[in-house]
Amino acid sequence: MTIVVGYRPGLGGEAGLALATELCRSLRRDLAVVIALPRPWPVPSMAKVDAEFAAYARRLGDDAESSARAALERHPLPTAVTVHRIAERSVSAALITATRRLGATMLVMGTRRQTGGHITLGSTTGRLVHFSETPLALAPPGYEATAQRPGITGVTCAYSATAEGDQAVARAAAIAADAGVRLRVASFGVAPADMYPPEVGFGAEREVLAAWTEQARIALARLVTSGVVGADTETVVGTGTDHAAALASVDWPAGEVLALGTTPRSGVARVFLGSTATRILSGATVPTIVLPG
């Protein structure tokens, strides 16, 4: 089984490659490094521009492959590593083609925009979170693998009390079991400031949040009684004035990854982020695995 990582130097590629190597070690998967190249114009030209374009694409691929292999020398894997160059109309199309062709169990990408360490979607990752048919793992900006942490150390699944939420927890539990790490289930709640008019009282927000927190704890306990997770599974509730603060209120040990379920929008299993999932993802500062609905 194979994990595919999309790689391009300087565009979040190093962070994605670091996360991919950790996932491969923990899950005992082979690694396929995919370099997306621009596809030439389908109609041949009499001018020399076709040859120049081919030479440019070849140099781009050579530079990217050389950089990827140098990075992999710093983080050698006990499993097989292959490098693939795929020419498509877009990077996202090349990566989707690669996951299908290689039968990938997961697609990994880095994120490159520096926003306080938070994950921010670009044009490629934004498209993939709507069309990927495999779990999509996103590395936060600047993410690095370390010798002291050869793989992931735990999986925290963001939970909403829905049928899709139960399925996401079950899939996150399978990933944690496969990696031999612990599973934690978390619910994140937000109380916007000044939610009610002054005559109601500014304590109303705290009361609403307290009621939501109690409901979340009951829903988390039901996961155990219904057999979705074991009795030894840790559960936690994080709250804050926004989703970034709610996530920050929970401890994130080194090597922890966040698993995030998504909502199906068709008969085809694929990723589709709803509004809550989008906010949680944008507040994340740890690697996040987005699971197709």
Q: What percent of the chain has pLDDT over 70?
A: 86
Which one has a higher pLDDT value, 150 or 144?
Answer: 144
Is-contact 256 154, C-beta < 8 A? Answer: yes
| Residues 135, 156 within the same domain | no
> What is the reported pLDDT for 119?
85
Is-contact 247 280, C-beta < 8 A? Answer: yes
Is-contact 91 126, C-beta < 8 A? Answer: no
Listed residues 116, 145, 174: the one ending a domain: 145
| Residues 280, 163 within the same domain | yes
Listed residues 145, 163, 185: the one ending a domain: 145
pTM to 2 decimal places: 0.88
What angle in degrees, to the nearest 10, is found between the helix axes of 13-27 and 163-179?
70
Q: Please report, for the domain that includes residue 194, its CATH number.
A: 3.40.50.620
Instruction: Give the model's confidence band at 58: pLDDT under 50 very low, under 70 low, under 90 confident, else very high.
Output: confident
> What is the reported pLDDT for 6?
95
| Residues 116, 171 within the same domain | no
Question: How many structural domains compose the chain?
Answer: 2
Q: What are phi and psi of 200, to 5 degrees?
A: -75, -30
> What is the reported pLDDT for 198?
54
| Residues 184, 97 within the same domain | no
Tell me: pLDDT of 268 over 50. Answer: no
Tell me: pLDDT of 36 over 50. Answer: yes
Domain that holds residue 189: 152-293
| Residues 157, 269 within the same domain | yes
> What is the reported pLDDT for 145?
79
Question: Mean pLDDT of all residues in the chain?
Answer: 85
| Residues 219, 138 within the same domain | no
| Residues 158, 282 within the same domain | yes
pLDDT tens track for 64-114 = 999 999 988 888 899 999 999 999 989 999 999 999 999 999 999 998 766
Of the ranges 103-117, 175-189, 246-260, 278-292, which one carries the lowest mean pLDDT score? Answer: 103-117
Residue 39, both tokens: 């596809």
Tell me: pLDDT of 163 over 70. Answer: yes
| Residues 124, 216 within the same domain | no
| Residues 22, 106 within the same domain | yes
Listed residues 124, 145, 166: the one ending a domain: 145
* Neighbouring residues of 156: CB distance < 8 A, sequence distance ≥ 6: 183, 184, 185, 186, 250, 252, 256, 257, 258, 259
Of the ranges 83-87, 97-101, 173-177, 280-284, which one carries the lowest mean pLDDT score? Answer: 280-284
| Residues 109, 240 within the same domain | no
Pairing verdict, β 288-291 and 256-261: parallel
> What is the reported pLDDT for 21?
95
| Residues 112, 1 within the same domain | yes
> What is the reported pLDDT for 132?
84
Q: How far from 18 is each of 63, 110, 137, 231, CA to CA, in Å?
A: 18, 9, 12, 33
Instruction: Give the model's confidence band at 267: pLDDT under 50 very low, under 70 low, under 90 confident, else very high.
Output: very low
Residue whose entry in the numeric block shows the structure tokens 């939610």:
195
| Residues 138, 278 within the same domain | no
